[in-house]
Every structure is written in structure tokens, then in C-alpha cells.
Amino acid sequence: MIDRYTLPEMGRIWSEAHKYELWCQVETLVLEAHARAGTVPADAVGPVRAAPPPTPEAVAEVEAVTEHDVIAFLTAWADNTEPRSAAAFVHYGMTSSDLLDTALAMQLAEATDLLLAKADRLVAVLRDHGLEHRETLRSGRTHGIHAEPDVWGHRVADFAFAAARSRDRIRRAREAVAVGTLSGPVGSYSNIDPAIEAEVMPALGLRAADVATQVVIRDGIAEWVSALAILATVCEAIALEVRHGQRTELRELAEPFRTGQKGSSAMPHKKNPIRSERICGLARVVRSHVTPVTEGIPLWHERDISHSSVERIALPDAAIATDYMLHLTIGLVEGLVVDAARMRANMNITHGLLYSSSVLLELVSSGLSREDAYALVQAAAMETWDTQTPFRDSLIAQGKKKGMVLDELALDRAFRAENYVARLGHVFDRLASLS
């Protein structure tokens, strides 16, 4: 992922330098376990533990010759070991995937912990924002058209619960990826005692794979990327709502606009929803990684490396982009400008049409058949669309055409937007308890 969208903490986790630190940690713990078991000399441990991790540049120099990243790492690390002979017992009984998959699991767990912390924060800011606007009336819309009165807090509550569910999926996915293996070539433990794996994995914060065929099968990693994609798409849903709300014709919502910020190089009046658009764009990037990572589940026999090239790109990019999107979305919600007066004013632009379903029910309750009531209400609504006559007046006129006198008190009940606030109390009770 490019630096523009990489936050420092997440970027460090996926850096080459940190990867080699983790590789050193895995190899050192394995060596120590071997030494305790008596399979390697105990005096090899001290020099290896003291050897600093090789630099990415040193590994790259060796890999240019070997064309094998693990061998290049082991060679460069051995160059840092005094005496160098102690390094002979590093990687004892292991195969490359033991190191690669186990260290990758550690990176995924670390990255997930950062994502979970931000996801918790997003849930909290959505919850608080929704509760703040539990009585902020606005037009609910379906197909982009005014439907019925609603409150802004209701829309936000939907996002809050979706974010919470998405966070919980990532929490479960962390368990699925925090899995390592130390089982040797083709995963048969032919050169390494299963007791080594059992001892080392808890020390790394991992659990041992139930079975490994030299690699850990990628269903857990596919689950993890899919969970990230869902969370990213929930962020996109929030951002898309803001983008719609910031359109000139609506002007109900607006991103924060800092002093000194510029919206357009040509049009000084512009205040564009750039953060929301960036979130929507990056969600596409995260989703794009789901299929190639999932295709890493089927491999040739016990192992091939067709998954490796994909994961070197997809896993860091998905984590870094999701981390950045969470950062942007939290800031978007925290700084969101909600124009409650504009929301209420926009409810009136259809001259009362968004009360049509309430009117329909009142007419049915008064004794009309649903078919007759629907025909009357629709005829009045079409008149209002065409002539801009207030919907209530159109209803009374249509009633007179049919020889009916509509109940004024029933119309009063139907045209009360506040009714919609009262009926959502249970939603906000649930929202208040969301954590």
C-alpha cells in the first residue's frame, strides 16, 4: 500500500524489518525448545539469541543470488551470529513454510488487534452520534425518493450495529488466523518432534494447526480478508450516506471543513465530500483481495507457492487500507455536520406526500376497503406531484369527488411527524447498550 494511505503503526507491522524480527523470534524459540529437549547443543542458544535481526538490505543482497527468501534470511542472520557456527542449528528440523506461516500468523494477529481497537472506537462514535440525534427528524428515502418521516439517529443506529457485527466477525477471524505450524516437510513431523510445536506455539500467542500439509490451509486467511472486506463496506455505506446528504440539493449533512482547506482548484465555493469518496474508493480495493486470497485454499498436493505472491500484496494492503478507512470513518462521524433545520425543511418539499401510508391506514381504519383507500390516496398524491397542491388539500378534494368527507382529526393524526420518533424508542434503548 502506498504511503499516502499507510498509518505508522500498521505500516510497521507489515514492514520487512518487522517481518525479520518475527522470523528471528520464531527461530529462537524453536532453537531453545530443541536445546531443552537435548536435540541441539545448549551453547548454540546464547549466540543466536544475541544476534540482531538482519536488515532487509542484507537479506535482499543474499536473495539476489539464492532466489529463496528464507535461505537468504538464514544466511544474513548467520552473518550476524558470533560464533557463526552456532547458527548451524537454527531452523533445525523445520521447513520454510513452518517459519513463513507461523510468522505470518503473528503479523495477522498484531494487525487484527489494531483493527479491533479502531473498530471499537467506530462503534462507540456511531452509538453516541445516533443517540444524540434520536429526535432529529428527516425524510426517510427508498430508491432515492422520499418515503416516510424518519429520524437521523435511526439511520445511524443501523450503521452502528452493522459496525459492531463487522467488528465481531474480525474478532472471530483473528482466532482463525492465529494458527501456526512446526511440522516439517509435508507436515509429517518427520524431522521435528510434535512436542516442539506444542511448546513454541503458546509462547508466540498462537495455537498449533490441527493439521498442516507443510502449509496451513488458507480458509482461515480467506475468512480474515472477507471479514475485513465486510467492515470496509460498512464504512463505505456510512460514507455514501454522507455523500448523498452533502449534495447541494439536500445539504443535510457535511464533512468537517477545516480552516485553510480547499475544495477545488478552479471553483472556490466547493466543499467536496473528499473523505467519504476516499472511503468508498478504498472499500473497492479491500474487496478486490477476497477472491485471489480465497483462491489460495486449493494448492497442488501438500504444497505449492501460488498463494505466496498473492498474500505478499493482498494481506498487507487489505489490513493497511482497512486501518486507514477506520481512521477516516471515525473522524468523519466525529466531525459530521448535521443540519437538523435543513432536514426538517426538506421533509416539506413534497408538500406532505411522505405521510401517504399513514393516511392510507387511517382511511382503512375508518371503514374503507384497502383498495378504495389506496385509490383515493394515490389519486391525491399524483395531483400533488403534478400541481404542488398540499397533499392534505388534494386528499380533501379527492374525497369530495367521491362524495366523502374525510375526518379532520384522522388527518391530524396521520400528518404528525413526531409519531415516528415515539415508535423508535426500543431501537435507541438497544443502541444505548451497544458496546
Dump the DSSP string for 232-273.
HHHHHHHHHHHHHHTSTTT-SEE----TT--S-SS-TT----
- Which residue do the cell numbers 456510512 mark? 238
- Which residue do the cell numbers 482497512 mark? 322
Residues 77/25, Cβ–Cβ less than 8 Å:
no
Of 188, 190, 264, 357, the active-site residue reads 264
**Amino acid present at 30:** V
10 Å Cβ neighbour count for 313? 13
Report the first-to-last Cα separation within the chain, whole angstroms: 31
Of 143, 269, 301, 426, the active-site residue reads 143
269 is catalytic: no
Burial class of 15 by CB neighbour count within 10 A (0 to 12, 13 to 18, 19+) = middle
Residues 91/39, Cβ–Cβ less than 8 Å:
no
Q: Please, where are the H alpha helices in 273-390?
A: 274-288, 290-294, 306-334, 340-346, 356-365, 370-387
Residues 96/302, Cβ–Cβ less than 8 Å:
no
Catalytic site positions: 143, 264
